[in-house]
């Protein structure tokens, strides 16, 4: 489990300063995570991903949720704001949410040597994506609150979800995901805390 624990720690270390979770946002988050893996952890994880980088699978869940095989994961990308609303483990695979489903994936990976390679690879892909989704404001559900509304951003009307998924990161900088990774990795802990509080300096 040590290898996969390193992946989780890497993902958790970087999630807060990143402000978008569309395709590029997921690539940025996963690129930073990969940069914090030990060479051994990276090698072990990639051995289950047919030699591909974890970045290659950053948005895998978003594409495969629309297939019949993985349609059951459609509700896994969001989580209620109150832990009392999380699904129980017994129904996680049927209805699920990001918290419960991430926990189930981590539980599976805790004994990965007893699983076949395909199952390990699928759970790695779940962890890569869900950890990022959990840190996106538009993936937090407030029971009874309708979040399907339009906002005005710099005289552009767009869905609330789209603001967080792609607009913020594309509007702020026209960097590639590797340029974002390189710059975010240079941010000190103090600067990161300031960013989270809203004190972004240009």
pLDDT in tens, 94-118: 567 888 899 899 999 999 999 999 9
Contact predicate 122/129, CB 8 Å: no
For the chain, the structural domain boundaries read: 2-146+176-190
Bridge partners (DSSP) listed for residue 141: 80
Higher pLDDT, 96 or 8: 96
Query: What mean pLDDT do residues 134-145 have?
Result: 77
| Bridge partners, 159 (sequence order) | 150
- In which band, very low, low, confident or very high, does the pLDDT at 43 lie, cut at 50, 70 and 90? very high
Contact 130, 102 (CB under 8 A): yes
* Rounded Cα gap, residues 41 and 38, in angstroms: 5
Q: How confident is the model at residue 195 (pLDDT cuts 50, 70, 90)?
A: low
Q: Mean of the pLDDT values across residues 56-69?
A: 93
With beta carbons less than 8 A apart as the criterion, state whether 135 and 18 touch.
Answer: yes
The CATH code that applies to domain 2-146+176-190 is 1.10.575.10
Question: What is the average pLDDT score of the chain?
Answer: 80
Which whole number is the average pLDDT over 124-128? 95
Residue 165 has pLDDT above 60, yes or no: yes
Query: For the chain, how big is the Rg over CA atoms in Å?
Result: 17
The mean pLDDT value for 169-198 works out to 81
């Amino acid at each position: 489990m040590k290898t996969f624990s390193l992946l989780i720690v890497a993902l958790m270390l970087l999630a807060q300063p990143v402000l978008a979770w569309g395709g590029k946002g997921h690539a940025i988050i996963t690129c930073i995570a990969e940069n914090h893996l030990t060479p051994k952890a990276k090698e072990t994880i990639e051995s289950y991903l047919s030699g591909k980088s974890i970045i290659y699978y950053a948005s895998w869940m978003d594409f495969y949720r629309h297939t019949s095989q993985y349609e059951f994961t459609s509700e896994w990308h969001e989580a209620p704001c109150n832990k009392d609303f999380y699904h129980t483990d017994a129904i996680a695979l049927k209805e699920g949410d990001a918290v419960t489903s991430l926990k189930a994936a981590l539980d599976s990976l805790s004994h990965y040597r007893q699983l076949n390679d395909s199952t390990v690879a699928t759970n790695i892909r779940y962890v890569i994506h869900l950890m990022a989704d959990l840190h996106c404001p538009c993936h937090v559900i407030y029971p009874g609150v309708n979040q399907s509304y339009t906002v005005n951003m710099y005289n552009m009307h767009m869905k609330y979800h789209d603001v967080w998924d792609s607009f913020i990161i594309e509007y702020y900088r026209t960097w590639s995901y590797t340029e974002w990774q390189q710059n975010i990795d240079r941010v000190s802990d103090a600067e990161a805390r300031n960013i989270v509080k809203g004190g972004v300096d240009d």
